Structure 1
């Protein structure tokens, strides 16, 4: 296999933190094709109540997601890690096309192959409406700047 996505298992605390930040940055690009390349060609997902298998299904799911979740900004934080697994918690904010704002909180469990590609992703997510004044994610669209607060800093 020619695709390798460092860092690769077995993870250390430092490499797990790096892997989480790389994932956050990719998701904040809102580029479904770019994001899909971090997953095996037969990756299995559970995202809320939706199931997807393979990169094409992942691209389709993310395309639908970001067509309705506008001004999407995400923060991920390492929760736990093992040799080839990482657990994260996250929060993201977005608005709908009517201008209503939402914050979603969740947890993800990830499992990786030896090349650092994720072969399994289970996401549990809850979404709450928020007032525009409650927003916390104000960086320009794209990767979260290094000096921006993380989940723990925000009390999430």
Structure 2
């Protein structure tokens, strides 16, 4: 396992690295690997879904990636302080009918001293796009 990047976040390069690690992890589309980056009692708000715990995160991500096919994500650090980060992101995916979407959003992250994320608040909007308009 690599170096753990844990709060307090004071170095912009390390904060950006933490976001890149999250992007890389989510792009695996492996619910169990992704969930391992969160505390056992993690709390999430994802759109209108409210989740508590890793098991709920695994179930949620399993359903998500059954619907959101060929998912590809890009995250960017927006700001950070102490044990919190703000991130903006976009991802592209298509449904089973072949309609492509670009989803835009913002996340607020709060970390435990271990470096695992204990809270994630995500607001997301979807835009239908043509396959030819994909950028990710």
| Bucket of the pairwise TM-score, normalised by the shorter protein | over 0.9
Q: How far off is 1:5 after superposition?
A: 7.3
Q: TM-score, normalised by structure 1?
A: 0.84
CA distance in structure 2 between the aligned counterparts of 1:6 and 1:81, rounded to whole angstroms:
17
Q: Per residue, is there more strand in 1 or in 2?
A: 2
Q: TM-score, normalised by structure 2?
A: 0.96
Q: How far off is 1:15 after superposition?
A: 1.2
CA distance in structure 2 between the aligned counterparts of 1:16 and 1:52, rounded to whole angstroms:
25
Q: Structure 2: 5+ residue runs without aligned partners?
A: none
Q: Structure 1: 5+ residue runs without aligned partners?
A: 138-156
Change (3 A) 1:33 1:61: same
What are the Cα deviations for residues 120-153 of structure 1, in whole angstroms up to 9, with x where unaligned?
000000001001111001xxxxxxxxxxxxxxxx
2:45 alignment counterpart: 46
2:7 alignment counterpart: 9
Note the aligned Cα RMSD (angstroms).
Answer: 1.1
Number of matched pairs:
134
What are the Cα deviations for residues 37-72 of structure 1, in whole angstroms up to 9, with x where unaligned?
110000000000001100000000000000010000
Q: Say if 2:136 is the partner of 1:126.
A: no
Structure 1 runs (4+) greater than 4 angstroms displaced: none
1:141-152 matched pairs, under 5 angstroms: none
